[in-house]
Amino acid sequence: MASPSNQLHMVTESAQHAQVTSSGTADSLHGHVTRLSGEVGAVVGTGWHMDQALGFGNAHQSWADGMGKLIAALHKVSADTGAHLNDYMETDMVQAASLNKVQAPMFSGVL
């Protein structure tokens, strides 16, 4: 279980990196899925008509469906990370503004 002190700060650079990386990975995977689906369609749809082709086509479709779910999940991770990062930074600015308004009395050296 995380301690409260671990939940009070965020390394914003790490969060930004995670947001960009998850989105970039999702986009890259989408490109691979699209390219591979074209290749599979060219082979299965043109000259390969036996039962193996049907089985392979079904297996590929199951794989493509799973990849679609993974890609959607990575985009959600990116969006959620961005939203939490923005919320964290906004809260930090509001709290900093409140603390900056506090006027500490000047110490005159007399106790």
Say how far apart CA 94 and CA 100 lie, in whole Å.
10
| 110 three-state secondary structure | coil
User: Residue 66's pLDDT is what?
Assistant: 98
Say what the pLDDT of residue 94 is.
92
Q: What is the mean pLDDT of residues 37-58?
A: 85
Report residue 110's pLDDT band, with 50, 70 and 90 as the boundaries: confident
Question: What pTM does this model have?
Answer: 0.74
Instruction: Determine contact, residues 81/14, Cβ cutoff 8 Å.
Output: no
Q: At what angle do helices 12-46 and 51-100 cross, to 10 degrees?
A: 160
Q: Are 74 and 25 in contact (CB under 8 A)?
A: yes
Q: Can you give the residue ranges of every domain in the chain?
A: 22-78
The mean per-residue pLDDT over the stretch 54-76 comes to 95
pLDDT digits (tens, 9 = 90+) for 2-47: 565 555 567 889 999 999 999 999 999 999 999 999 998 888 877 7
Q: What is the distance between the alpha carbons of residues 71 and 30, in angstroms, rounded to a whole number?
A: 7
